[in-house]
């Protein structure tokens, strides 16, 4: 899943790779639509976080029909997954 270097109780460096499928699975728990979850996960991981072709604000505007609460949960999950917190 990733790697970590531990020194005592401190994590000195960590790298976690989150796949689109893993993120889509988490998003699906929020919105209950497998195909759309896959699309959202792909957009977040590829366009927003990897290629930086789209900002989080643009992503939020494009998908504002989901509502601010669901959007924030989706973004929080993506951030957590990418940082290896989940």
Tokens 């929080």 correspond to 76
Domain residues for 32?
20-83
Q: Answer whether residue 4 is part of any domain.
A: no
Q: Is residue 3 part of a domain?
A: no
Pairing status of strand 10-16 against strand 2-7: antiparallel
> In the chain, how many domains are there?
1
Q: Which helix (H) or strand (E) holds 39?
A: helix 34-42
Please write the tens of the pLDDT for every residue from 42-79: 999 888 888 888 898 999 999 999 999 999 999 999 88
HSE-CB at 59 with a 13 A cutoff on CA atoms is: 22
For residue 70, being part of any structural domain is answered with: yes
Task: State residue 17's pLDDT score.
Answer: 64
Identify each DSSP E strand in 1-86 by its residue range.
2-7, 10-16
pLDDT of residue 19: 86
Q: Is residue 65, in this structure, part of any structural domain at all?
A: yes
In a domain, 2, yes or no: no
């Amino acid at each position: 899943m990733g790697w970590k270097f531990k020194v005592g109780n401190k994590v000195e460096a960590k790298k976690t790779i989150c796949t689109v499928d893993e993120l889509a699975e988490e998003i699906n728990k929020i919105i209950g639509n497998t195909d759309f979850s896959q699309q959202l996960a792909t957009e977040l991981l590829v366009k927003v976080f990897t290629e930086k072709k789209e900002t989080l604000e643009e992503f939020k505007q494009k998908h504002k029909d989901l509502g601010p609460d669901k959007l924030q949960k989706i973004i929080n999950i993506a951030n957590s997954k990418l940082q290896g917190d989940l």
